[in-house]
Structure 1
C-alpha cells in the first residue's frame, strides 16, 4: 500500500510537471503584443509581419517620404500603396520599402495614384477596423478592390495571401521603383515561367545606403498574362528587362474561388541565394503553418521574461516593448551562410551568424545591455559580426543599416557594446582582436578628433556638435579600458586619460557643459535651454550629464552631492521654452528631461548616486505610467530600433543600465507584481514587488535571496546566478533605504587618468 501511495505521488508529480510544461509551451505571450504601438505620432514603427531578428519585414506602405514616413506606414493615413518586404523599426531616417506588391481588381493601373483620389492608381483606401496585426501576421481589407490581404514571414521569405472577390479581374502589381526615401540606381526583372519571377533592386540615398537586394517570387497559380512598364514604355512579351523605373502586372483567373498566394524570398548576395532561402524556408503553400510557426517563434522569445500583473494594459505595453526589442538587429546572411560584407564582397560565415542594422547611437544604452541578460548567445553573434566588419571593411560599425555603414550619428558606439559584454563575462569571441579593433576605431579620423586629442575637447568654432562629440568620444574611449585592463597597462592608462576629457568642457560658473573655442574661451551667448548645433538633438540640460563612465567625478566637479541634487531638481522642474527647444526629436518632456530621445534616458537614475533613491523611484514610475501606453501613439518618441522599448523593459522590471561597460544596474521602481527572467544558462531570476500598485512607487525595503538588501544597484552576476529580489513598496518615500554612500552606485577611479593641462 505504501509503495502504491508513493507510485501515485510520483505519477501525480510527473503529471503536474507535464501540465506545467504544457501550459508554459502553450502560453500565448503574443496575444499581449500590439504591433500598432508606435505607428502613430512620431514612433516610426511598422505594423506588418516579421519574425525575431528576421531579414524580412513584410508590411503595408502608406507613404514613402516625410519624417513620419520613415517606416513606410503612419496611422494617420487612410490608403495603402502596397506591401513591401524591408522596413526599419522606429528609426529617424527612412529606408527599405523594397520589392512592393499590390493586388488590384479590374482595370490595370501601374501608377500609385494619389490620396485624394485612390481610384487614380493602384493605391487603395482602408479602415483601421479592417486591419489586424499580431506577431508574425498582418491582414487588411482593401476597400477599393474589396479584397483581403494576409501576410506572414519566415526569416528570409515573405508570404502573401490574397482573397479576391468572386469572378473578378484579379491582378497583382509589382512596383520595383517604389522605395522609402531612396533613389533608384538600377532595376531588373526576369520572367522565369508562369509562376516564378526574379530580379533585383539597387538603390542609394536612404538610411540603407547603396543597397542591392535580389528576390525570387513565386505565385501559387500560373498567371494568364503579364505586362511590364519600363522607363515609361509598355512591353508585353519581353522576359528580361532592366530599367530605372519599372512596374509590372500579372493577371490571374480566380473562377475557382481559391486565394492567390505569393512567396517572396530575399538575398543581398544573388538570385540563387534568394531561391535557396525560399526552398529551405517555405517549400510548400501552407500559409497557416507559416503563420503558426512565426507565432511560435515569437512566443519562444517573449517567454524569456514572464510578468505578473492585473493591469492588462501595462502587460500589453510590456510585451509589445519586448517584441519591438527583438526586431533588430536582423540576420544578414543566406541560408547557406553567404553574405555581403561592408566591402561589398561576398563571404561565407564561418562559426558565426552575420547580423546587420546596428543603430548603435541609440541601442548601446539599453537594448544591448538587455541582450546581455536575455540574449547572450546573440550578443556574441553581434560582436562577431562587428569583428567581421573589422576584418573585411577595416573598422567596427558605428551606425550600420542593411549592411552599410551610414555614419548617421556621432560617437563610435560599438565600443560600449563590446565593453559591456566583456565586463559581464561574455567573451566567446577573439578578445585580443576586439581590443585591437576598438583601439583602431577610437583612434580613427572622426570629426574633431585631432583637436580632441590635442586640446582635450572639440572646439565649437571649428566643428558642429562640439559638446556632444567631446562627451561621447570621451565615454567611448573609456570603454577601451574595459578590455585593456586585462591586456595592456599602457592602453589602460591612455584611454582612461581620454575618458576624463569631459572635464574640459564643464563650466563652473554656469554649472553646465559649455561650448569652448579653439582659443580656450567659453562661448559668450550661452543659454542652457537653447537647442543649438553645439549638441546633438538636445540642449545643455540634456547633455551635461552624459558622463556615464565617471558619474562620481561629474558630481565632484559640479560641486558635490548637494549641488548635484539641486541641479537634477531644477532639470526636472524647469518648464521647456518651446521657442528655444524646437527639435522634433526632443519629446516626452518632464521639465527639461526628454524621454522621447536617448540622451536623457539615464538621467532619472542619477539621484541614486547622491543618496536620493526615492526621487529616482518617483520619476521612473512617472515615466513608465505616463509616457508609454498600448495604443498606436504609445511611444513618446522614435522607437529607434528597439532602444525606446528596451528602456521600458528594463525599467519596468526595476533596474537600468546607466553605464554600459559596468557590471551592475541601477535600481528604479518595479512596475509589476513579479517579473521572472528565464536565463539561457537554465537559471531564473525573479523580481517581486509586494504591496505594489498605482500610487506606490517607493521602495520601503528589499531582500535578495532572503537577505536584507540595502544597495541601490544590482550586480549582473547576481542576476545570472538566479534567485529572487523582493521589494516592499509604499505610498510614502523611505528616505533611509540605500542612501548611505556605501550603498550607492559607483564609478571606477584611476589615479593614473589625470587630464593633461591645457595651456592657451
Structure 2
C-alpha cells in the first residue's frame, strides 16, 4: 500500500470517556523529531476529525493524550490567515477537501480561498500558503510556552520550551523560519501570540528548521531542497517502511487497516539527536543541560511498547533499532536509571521497568551485544537501588527485596510485584548471555517471587500486607488499587516467563483450563473501588465485549495465547480472528483502546500475520490465527518469511493444518532462529477445531512440565 493511501486521521475520534486509539494525525518522517498536525481544540484532545474549524498547524512532540495539557512539550502553532481572518484564533476549514498523509498535509480553507501545504523534513518542514487574497500571514502561538526572538526581512526565529518537566532544566526547541517573499510587518498581541504579515504574493513559502541544541543548529537544519524533492524524499522513506511487510487479501479494507497500523509502528520513539558539522550524532543531555555525543530518543512508554514494538523491530527494522538501543543506554548514563517512560526525560510512569524486556529481547536475539555489559549494570542498578522519589527504576524496590513482594499499602502492589519478577527473569537472560552464570541463577530464582501472591483459595494473584496476609476484601472484578488499569482477571496471568509454574499453582492443566474458560466466558463486569469512578479502560472492556480478556489494553495482550500452554491453542483462534476483525479498522475509531506509541498497532500486526512474541526476552513466537490470504515479511537480514492462508473466510475460524515448505508443521510456536532463516508457512483453515493440528510440545516456560 502506498503512503498516499494512508489517512493519518486513523483512530483520532476519541473522548475522555472512551478511547478508540487516542491518536493524533501526525505528518512526519519515520521516527521524526517533530510531528505536524492540525489543532482543532485547546484541551488534551486537541484534534478531532469532524471539527470544521482549526486553530493552526501544530508542531508537536505529544507522547500521549494522557500527558496532560502541557504534555506536548516544546510545541509551536502556526495559524495561516489572509485579510478576512486576520486576528482570529480559530478559523473554518474543510476536512473533506484537506489531505492528511504521513508525508504531507494539505489544509483547505475554501471561504478564505487559502490552501496550506506542509512537507516534513528530518528537522523541520516547508510550509506553503497559496491564495489570491492579499495580506497573507501566520498567527504564532505556543501551546506550552515560548517566544519569538527575531523578526527580520526574511527571517523569523524563536523558541518553545517544556513546562511539564521532571529534569533540572526545561528542554528548549529553537526554530528558524525563512520567508522567501519577506515579512511585511508583525505585532505581539497581549495574549502572547504574534501576528506576522508577509509581502503580498500568490504563494508564500516558509522554510522551517528546528533544534534542541541551539539556534545555530536550527539554521543548519533548515531545508534547502525544492519542495517537490522534499516531498518525494518523505514519500520514499515512508514507502520503504511500508514495504517491509506485504499483505494481500480479497478484502481490501483489511489490507488498508494493516498498513494504517504499520504506519503507526514507525512514529515512536522520536529522535532527540541531531548531527554536528562532521556528521556525527549529538544531543542535549536533558539532565545536565549539556550537548553530548551519541544518539538519544524520546516519547516512549516501555510498559506499553516492550511487549510488541521492539520484537517487531528485531525482525524488520535494523536501520534504526540499533541506534534506539544505544539511545536508551545514553538515557541511563545521563539520568542514573534505565528509563521507564521517556517524555522527553524519564517521567517514571507505570509499574515495573519494562525496558528490561527490550534489553533482554535484544540480547536473546544477539542484537547490540556490545551494549549488554552496560545494560546489565543498569538493570542491576534498578533492581537494587531505591530511587528517593520512587519514580525512576523500581518504585518499590526496597520493599520487594525485603518481603519478596510489594506490600498492599504500596500503589498497584500486585502489578509491581509481577512486573519486577518479569524483570528479574530479563536480568537472568542478559546475565546468562554474558556468561554470568551465578548472577543469572540468582535472578532466575528471584523471578519466581510471583508465587508469593498467588492465593490458592481465591484462584488469583491477591495483594498481601506486610505481615503476609492476603487482602480480606478481595474481589476479582475490583479495578485499580492493587492492580494497574484492570482487575485480578487481567493481571493474574502476567507471568509470561513461567506459565507452567503458574499452571502448577492452580494444580493441573484441567484446573488451569477451568480458569481460562471462565476468563473468556465471564461477563466484562467491574467495580470501581480502586479508582472511585469509571475509567475509560473499564468502558472499553464493557463496550468491546470480550469477556475479561480486555484486548484493548496491554495487560491482556498475551491472554489469548495462554490456551497454548494446556495444549489447546484452538481455543484462542476464533477469539483472535474476532478481535482482529471486529475491534480494529482503518477508520477514525480504529482501536479497542489506547494505541500507545505503536504498541497496539504492533499487536495487530503480529496477530494478523499469525504469530506473537508471548515472552519478550525469549526467542520464540506463538502461533495464533493468520488473517490475510498472503503475507511476506522482508526481514532485515535479507531473508523472507512467506505466510499463505487457504480457506480464509469469516466462517473458517480454526487452523486445520500448518505446513512449512510443504512439510507438516506440528509445533504451536516458532523459534526466532528458524524465522529469521526464512520460512514458507501455509495455513489451512477449517470450520471446526482440529485438536491434532499441533503436538503437545509446550511453548517456553522456566518451569518444565
Correspondent of 1:438 among 360, 379, 387: 379
Q: What is the deviation of 1:592?
A: 1.2
Correspondent of 1:384 among 326, 329, 341: 326
Matches for 1:509-548 after TM superposition, within 5 Å: 509-548=457-496
Q: Does 1:264 align with 2:208?
A: yes
**Aligned residue in 2 for 1:319:** 259
Say if 1:555 and 1:207 are closer, same or farther in 2 by CA, change over 3 A.
Answer: farther
Q: What is the deviation of 1:544?
A: 0.5
Tell me whether 30-39 or 602-611 shows the greater mean CA deviation.
Answer: 30-39
Say if 1:312 and 1:675 are closer, same or farther in 2 by CA, change over 3 A.
Answer: same
**Aligned residue in 1 for 2:7:** 34
Matches for 1:247-258 after TM superposition, within 5 Å: 247-254=193-200, 256-257=201-202
Q: What is the deviation of 1:729?
A: 1.1
5+ residue gaps, structure 2, are 387-393
Tell me whether 484-493 or 714-723 shows the greater mean CA deviation.
Answer: 484-493
* Structure 1 residues 320-374: Cα deviation after superposition (integer angstroms, max 9, x where no partner): 1010000011111123222112423334435xx4322221110000011111111
**Aligned residue in 2 for 1:135:** 102
* Structure 1 residues 240-267: Cα deviation after superposition (integer angstroms, max 9, x where no partner): xxxxx6321111233x42x212122221
Q: What is the deviation of 1:77?
A: 3.2
Instruction: Provide the secondary structure at the position in 1 that maps to 2:99.
Output: strand
Instruction: Provide the secondary structure at the position in 2 that maps to 1:547.
Output: coil
Correspondent of 1:668 among 611, 619, 624: 624
Contact 2:307–2:613 (Cα < 8 Å) also in 1: yes
Instruction: Provide the secondary structure at the position in 1 that maps to 2:273.
Output: coil
Tell me whether 506-515 or 335-344 shows the greater mean CA deviation.
Answer: 335-344
**Aligned residue in 1 for 2:163:** 204
Correspondent of 2:118 among 151, 157, 163: 151
**Aligned residue in 1 for 2:390:** none
Q: Does 1:617 align with 2:559?
A: no
* Structure 1 residues 49-91: Cα deviation after superposition (integer angstroms, max 9, x where no partner): 111111111111122324xx1xx31224332111121243655
Say if 1:576 and 1:147 are closer, same or farther in 2 by CA, change over 3 A.
Answer: same
Instruction: Provide the secondary structure at the position in 2 that maps to 1:640.
Output: coil
Contact 1:108–1:171 (Cα < 8 Å) also in 2: no
Q: Partners of 1:383 and 1:311 in 2: how far apart? A: 37
Q: Partners of 2:135 and 2:319 in 1: how far apart? A: 50
Correspondent of 1:213 among 173, 176, 182: 173
* Structure 1 residues 428-454: Cα deviation after superposition (integer angstroms, max 9, x where no partner): 432211211211122231332212111
Q: Partners of 1:322 and 1:207 in 2: how far apart? A: 32
Q: Partners of 1:552 and 1:87 in 2: how far apart? A: 42
Q: Does 1:160 align with 2:127?
A: yes
Correspondent of 1:93 among 57, 64, 67: 67
Q: What is the deviation of 1:585?
A: 2.5
**Bigger Rg, structure 1 or 2:** 1
Q: Does 1:103 align with 2:80?
A: yes
TM-score (norm 2): 0.92
Say if 1:398 and 1:449 are closer, same or farther in 2 by CA, change over 3 A.
Answer: same
Q: Partners of 2:642 and 2:65 in 1: how far apart? A: 32
Say if 1:85 and 1:429 are closer, same or farther in 2 by CA, change over 3 A.
Answer: farther
Instruction: Provide the secondary structure at the position in 2 that maps to 1:372.
Output: helix
Instruction: Provide the secondary structure at the position in 1 that maps to 2:632.
Output: strand
**Aligned residue in 2 for 1:395:** 337
Q: Partners of 1:398 and 1:661 in 2: how far apart? A: 17
**Aligned residue in 1 for 2:429:** 482
Instruction: Provide the secondary structure at the position in 2 that maps to 1:735.
Output: coil
Q: Partners of 1:529 and 1:723 in 2: how far apart? A: 43
**Aligned residue in 1 for 2:636:** 680
Contact 1:531–1:582 (Cα < 8 Å) also in 2: no
Instruction: Provide the secondary structure at the position in 2 that maps to 1:130.
Output: coil
Instruction: Say how many residue pairs are matched.
Output: 676
Correspondent of 1:223 among 179, 183, 204: 183
Q: Partners of 2:162 and 2:372 in 1: how far apart? A: 36
Say if 1:538 and 1:143 are closer, same or farther in 2 by CA, change over 3 A.
Answer: farther
Correspondent of 1:354 among 296, 299, 303: 296
5+ residue gaps, structure 1, are 1-27, 111-120, 233-244, 752-760
**Aligned residue in 1 for 2:389:** none
Q: What is the deviation of 1:583?
A: 2.1
Q: What is the deviation of 1:143?
A: 5.0
Q: Partners of 2:234 and 2:534 in 1: how far apart? A: 42
Q: Partners of 1:200 and 1:630 in 2: how far apart? A: 36
Matches for 1:267-416 after TM superposition, within 5 Å: 267-278=211-222, 282-284=223-225, 286-336=226-276, 337-350=281-294, 353-402=295-344, 404-416=345-357
Q: Does 1:123 align with 2:90?
A: yes
**Aligned residue in 1 for 2:391:** none
Say if 1:298 and 1:262 are closer, same or farther in 2 by CA, change over 3 A.
Answer: same
Instruction: Provide the secondary structure at the position in 1 that maps to 2:221.
Output: helix
**Aligned residue in 2 for 1:455:** 403
Q: Partners of 2:485 and 2:316 in 1: how far apart? A: 30
* Structure 1 residues 514-556: Cα deviation after superposition (integer angstroms, max 9, x where no partner): 1111111111111111112111111110101100111111111
Contact 1:379–1:421 (Cα < 8 Å) also in 2: no
Instruction: Provide the secondary structure at the position in 1 that maps to 2:160.
Output: strand
Instruction: Provide the secondary structure at the position in 2 that maps to 1:636.
Output: coil
Q: Partners of 1:191 and 1:345 in 2: how far apart? A: 24
Contact 2:171–2:286 (Cα < 8 Å) also in 1: no
Instruction: Provide the secondary structure at the position in 2 that maps to 1:728.
Output: strand
* Structure 1 residues 709-759: Cα deviation after superposition (integer angstroms, max 9, x where no partner): 10111111111111211111112111221141x2x21212499xxxxxxxx
Correspondent of 1:172 among 127, 131, 138: 138
Matches for 1:713-732 after TM superposition, within 5 Å: 713-732=669-688
Correspondent of 1:632 among 588, 593, 597: 588
Say if 1:622 and 1:750 are closer, same or farther in 2 by CA, change over 3 A.
Answer: closer
Say if 1:292 and 1:270 are closer, same or farther in 2 by CA, change over 3 A.
Answer: same
Q: What is the deviation of 1:500?
A: 0.7
Q: Partners of 1:684 and 1:424 in 2: how far apart? A: 17
Q: Partners of 2:62 and 2:640 in 1: how far apart? A: 32
Q: Partners of 1:143 and 1:578 in 2: how far apart? A: 48
Contact 1:380–1:429 (Cα < 8 Å) also in 2: no
**Aligned residue in 2 for 1:758:** none
Q: Partners of 1:716 and 1:629 in 2: how far apart? A: 29
Instruction: Provide the secondary structure at the position in 2 that maps to 1:392.
Output: helix
